[in-house]
């Protein structure tokens, strides 16, 4: 079970005297969070209007001077770049450094940045503060400071492995995401960065979170590498009950993909940061793969996951030819995998899919939510490891659904059934890689929500070295097209369970 305990944090932009840091750690932040939870929430002071309303391209002209990196010139391989406040980053945060047994505030210095003009720089308040920070580490060479982790904006943070480009985000917590009542966005308001010792391969960051419904204390133990691993310890204090609390939330973008039609005028084959949700439940150990869609209206799916072993948003398409986008390089976007520690109890992995008409909007959210939301005054402790990196970070042991294609089931190549759809799923990996093309692999397919399965069969695809499941299915009028399928041999599963839902009004179903 998630265990009651304590924690979260507050905004403080005024520098204070250095305080002794001996023994400073997670419990100290949790104490601040607990005290803060006894007080009424107040929004942190916002940035001046000219910074809040600044255009994105102009905001990008505000650049941190790399020669001012925190820990530059020390024996640490880690360095810290500071993030300007403004635009999406509507308020500043308090930053502290823990070095040589002392906690010292990191003061705001206006000259740490270059600005679009001297006139612009004069308008920046001398006590503005920073929006967050970016950690660097020599991932691709001893003399290169590669940015690999960024904290900025509400409780968002983004990470990458060695060969990734930045993509999806994680958050400290999600509150009432997708509900008609409206989502709440708690914010990290103070950070403490522990300076690593010489040769250290990990760095520790503490954070305090505050929002209308709760406060929280966090410790992030960060290890960069081929994949970025972050051990997260959190203690949440609920000021009031939340209808839908979301733990270990992930946020991504899916505009269109191989299982949808291209929007009018689009030349790229696909555009997305993630192409599916992967879940492994603790009770059954079954691996579930859910391809993402861009719905016509907001959709919320609840995938039962008692005591979950893991869940994540995955980018399985990793070939440039999947996207043909030289600027965005979506094939380099990382996957993110959450591996819970301890027994989280009964609950669901919740998938929120929000309609979008462009790729600039993050429209996908996934998180775990307990079956019974914590009551007001009830603190919660949880721990998990969050990994950013290539799609194999989940440790998936079985065959995987690599492609999902959708077409009309009443035309040449699709079938001759009015109102039906031809769906193709290509599987590869795991035990499938060790069996001959002529093996007796069979398909197991079931329709859900009155979806009729007219036919299904599996065949080896010699050009790709994959096994293709072909299904002809027909949804009930005005109902979801909903399916579950996997491949087996001799009664034993060879693959994960592919699950799919396509509501009326989406892509081919709207025509």
| Whether residue 260 has pLDDT greater than 50 | yes
Q: Under a CB-based contact definition with an 8 Å cutoff, are residues 332 and 322 in contact?
A: no
> Residues 102-150: pLDDT tens digits?
899 999 999 999 999 999 999 999 999 999 999 999 998 888 899 999 9
Q: Under a CB-based contact definition with an 8 Å cutoff, are residues 316 and 322 in contact?
A: no
> Residues 367-395: pLDDT tens digits?
999 999 898 888 899 999 999 999 999 99
Residue 154 DSSP class: T
| Whether residue 181 has pLDDT greater than 70 | yes
| pLDDT confidence of residue 8 | 31
* CA–CA distance, 6 with 237 (Å, rounded to integer): 6
* Average pLDDT value over all residues in the chain: 92
| pLDDT confidence of residue 505 | 74
Dihedral sign computed on CA atoms, order 76, 77, 78, 80: positive
User: Can you read off the two tokens belonging to residue 22?
Assistant: 């001996």
CATH numbers and ranges of domains, the chain: 19-394 (2.70.98.10), 400-510 (2.60.40.10)
Dihedral sign computed on CA atoms, order 50, 55, 58, 61: positive
What would the mean pLDDT of 42-57 be, rounded to a whole number?
A: 93
Alpha helices in 22-144 (DSSP H): 26-37, 49-52, 56-59, 118-123
User: Can you read off the two tokens belonging to residue 247?
Assistant: 């733990």
Dihedral sign computed on CA atoms, order 197, 200, 203, 204: negative
Cβ partners under 8 Å of residue 302, min gap 6: 348, 349, 350
| pLDDT confidence of residue 283 | 74
Q: Under a CB-based contact definition with an 8 Å cutoff, are residues 356 and 400 in contact?
A: no
What would the mean pLDDT of 412-431 be, rounded to a whole number?
A: 93
**Banded pLDDT at 22 (limits 50, 70, 90):** low
């Amino acid at each position: 079970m998630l265990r009651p305990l304590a924690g979260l944090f507050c905004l403080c932009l005024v520098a204070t005297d250095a305080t002794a840091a001996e023994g400073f750690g997670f419990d100290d932040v949790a104490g601040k969070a607990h005290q803060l939870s006894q007080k009424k929430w107040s929004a942190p002071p916002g940035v001046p209007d000219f910074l809040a309303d600044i255009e994105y391209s102009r905001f990008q002209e505000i650049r941190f001077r790399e020669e001012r990196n925190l820990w530059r010139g020390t024996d640490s391989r880690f360095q810290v770049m500071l993030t300007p406040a403004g635009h999406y980053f509507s308020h500043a945060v308090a930053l502290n450094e823990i070095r040589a047994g002392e906690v010292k505030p990191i003061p705001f210095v206006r000259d740490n940045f270059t600005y679009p003009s001297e006139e612009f720089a004069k308008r920046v308040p001398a006590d503005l503060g920073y929006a967050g920070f970016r950690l660097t580490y020599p991932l691709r060479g001893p003399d290169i400071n590669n940015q690999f982790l960024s904290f900025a904006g509400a409780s968002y943070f983004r990470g990458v492995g060695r060969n990734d480009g930045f993509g999806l985000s994680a958050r400290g917590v999600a509150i009432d995401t997708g509900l008609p009542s409206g989502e709440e966005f708690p914010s990290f308001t103070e950070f403490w960065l522990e300076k690593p010792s010489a040769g250290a391969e990990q760095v520790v960051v503490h954070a305090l979170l505050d929002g209308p419904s709760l406060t929280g204390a966090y410790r992030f133990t960060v290890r960069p590498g081929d994949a970025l691993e972050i051990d997260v310890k959190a203690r949440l204090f609920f000021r009031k009950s939340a209808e839908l609390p979301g733990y270990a939330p992930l946020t991504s973008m899916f505009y269109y993909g191989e299982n949808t039609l291209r929007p009018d005028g689009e030349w790229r084959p696909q555009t997305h940061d993630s192409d599916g949700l992967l879940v492994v439940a603790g009770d059954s150990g079954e691996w579930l793969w859910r391809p993402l869609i861009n719905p016509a209206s907001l959709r919320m799916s609840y995938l039962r996951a008692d005591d979950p072993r893991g869940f994540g948003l995955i980018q399985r398409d990793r070939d440039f030819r999947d996207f043909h986008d030289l600027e965005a390089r979506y094939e380099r976007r990382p996957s993110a995998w959450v591996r819970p520690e301890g027994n989280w109890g009964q609950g669901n992995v919740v998938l929120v899919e929000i309609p979008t008409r462009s790729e600039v909007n993050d429209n996908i959210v996934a998180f775990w939510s307990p079956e019974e939301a914590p009551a007001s005054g009830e603190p919660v402790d949880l721990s998990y490891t969050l990994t950013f990196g290539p799609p194999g970070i989940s440790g998936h042991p079985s065959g995987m659904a690599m492609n999902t294609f959708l077409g009309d089931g009443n035309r040449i190549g699709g079938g001759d059934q009015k109102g039906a759809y031809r769906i193709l799923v290509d599987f590869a990996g795991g035990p499938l890689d060790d069996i001959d093309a002529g093996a007796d692999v069979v398909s197991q397919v079931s329709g859900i929500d009155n979806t009729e399965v007219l036919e299904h069969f599996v065949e080896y695809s010699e050009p790709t070295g994959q096994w293709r499941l072909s299904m002809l299915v027909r949804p009930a009028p005005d109902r979801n097209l909903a399916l579950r399928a996997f491949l087996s041999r001799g009664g034993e599963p060879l693959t994960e369970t592919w699950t799919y839902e396509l509501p009326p009004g989406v892509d081919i179903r709207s025509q």
